Amino acid sequence: MFCLPPQAQGGLRLHSKHGDCDPSGAGRLDGRVSPGRPRTTVRVARLIVCLDGTWNSAAPPPGVEPTNGLQIVRRVAPVAPDGLVQTVLYEPGLGVDGLGSHFAAYPGWGLSRILRRAYARLAETWAPGDELFLIGVSRGAFLCQNLAHWLDWGGLPQNASAAEIDQRFELLLRADASALAALPSRRPVPIRFLGAFDTVAALGLPLAGLRRLTRPVAPQLGNRLPANVAVARHALAVEEDREPFRPEIWTPPSAPGQSVEQLWLPGGHADVCGGFGRRELSDYALLWMMAEAERAGLAFDPLRRDDGLRPDPSVAPSPATGVNHLMRRVHRRPLRTWPETERLDPAAAGRGPAAKLPTLAK
């Protein structure tokens, strides 16, 4: 995790792997004590964890828009109307650390490192009573789903050393539920909201005979949401048909009272996730997700909430170019996999495979 640059923060105080970042210089946000950190009186009460998509960071290069995950955390109010301090923990996607990592991002190498950083930072920051919001984009959404499972199984340790975090992480990576249940200082972690933009795993190179050989070590926990998630919302791209972008569609709710909705939206993968797609379509998906997060309790800065957004769901999806063009028409989106949680946005009716399934709009 690191601090977003000042131009991206909009006044937010953000936690960093190097300490707590505060552009105003006012110091720490919470009243919990960590080694070498002073105690103050304001307590973090709402944490927003954003795991971004592949090749996406807090400082997009020229010609690349912020992803919808970054758009959300940039618009979060530092303090909500209910008085709760809202703190963002942001993790960039794979492939932003140099040329080598750029190519390693294709098969997904490095996903486990991102998960470990997110888990360790939460162990440092979260305290019982805090509300937790997870926002993920593409592969980052896949990681958020796995992080939710891990928090359900193993909770978070209290005052853990780096060695203890590593030990717990290895158990989580192996999905050793019995060993995790026996660990001391296991604090259960409820998740108030999980917001996912077109979840994909895309593990291994999408080439015949190489996918299995190049698949990274990453958790495979299935698509049933854990019981610790109260509200889950999934924005799905109805016009995406490339095999590497096959969506990880959630199965029906597994816990009583769990609220799950998966909305098929116009556009391809990049259009729904933001960053590389049509801004009009990504803004449309963004506004839906922001409204759902607000209903779950997240507060946005009223001066920044809709600033610069220009949603238009009628525009055509972004074209695939370069290597992406070679992946076209390999896969069709599996609409109506679990119709009790899926819904077709009216603007997506008649687009892509949705043209054959109008009943989803009801």
- Looking at residue 147, its pLDDT comes to 93
C-beta separation of 66 from 307 below 8 A: no
Give, for 149, the enclosing helix (H) or strand (E).
Answer: helix 139-154
Q: What is the pLDDT of residue 321?
A: 56
pLDDT of residue 308: 94
pLDDT at 320: 66
Strand partners, 191: 229
* Half-sphere exposure (Cβ direction) of 162: Cα atoms closer than 13 Å: 3
Q: Measure the CA–CA gap between 75 and 95, rounded to whole angstroms.
A: 25
What pLDDT does 1 receive?
52
User: Tens of pLDDT along 250-259?
Assistant: 988 778 899 9
Task: Read off the pTM.
Answer: 0.82
**Which pLDDT value is given to residue 3?**
44
Residues 178/186, Cβ–Cβ less than 8 Å: no
Taking a C-beta distance cutoff of 8 angstroms, is the pair 245, 273 a contact?
A: no
Provide the token pair at 344: 């077709």
The count of residues in the chain is 362
Nearest CA to 197 out of 281, 107, 104, 108 is that of: 281
- Residue 131 φ/ψ, nearest 5 degrees: -90, 140
How confident is the model at residue 296, as a pLDDT? 98
Per-residue pLDDT, 21: 45
Measured CA to CA, the distance from residue 291 to residue 249 in angstroms comes to: 21
- The segments of the chain whose pLDDT lies below 50 read 2-42, 99-108, 203-217, 322-323, 325-328, 358, 361-362
**Using H for helix, E for strand and C for coil, what is the string for 189-258?**
CCEEEEEEECCCCCCCCCCCCCCCCCCCCCCCCCCCCCCCEEEEEEEEECCCCCHHHCCCCCCCCCCCCC
CA angle 240, 244, 245 (to 5 degrees): 35
Yes or no: say if 126 and 159 are a contact pair by the CB < 8 Å rule.
no
Would you say 187 and 157 are in contact if contact means Cβ atoms under 8 Å apart?
yes
- Residue-wise pLDDT for 168-195, tens only, equals 888 877 777 677 777 776 778 999 999 9
- Those residues whose C-beta lies under 8 Å from the C-beta of residue 358, and which sit 6 or more positions away, are 344, 349, 350
Q: Residue 199: which of 110, 119, 116, 269 has the closest Cα?
A: 269
pLDDT given at position 326: 47
Please tell me the distance from the alpha carbon of residue 69 to that of residue 195, in angstroms, as a whole number.
9
pLDDT reported for residue 76: 98
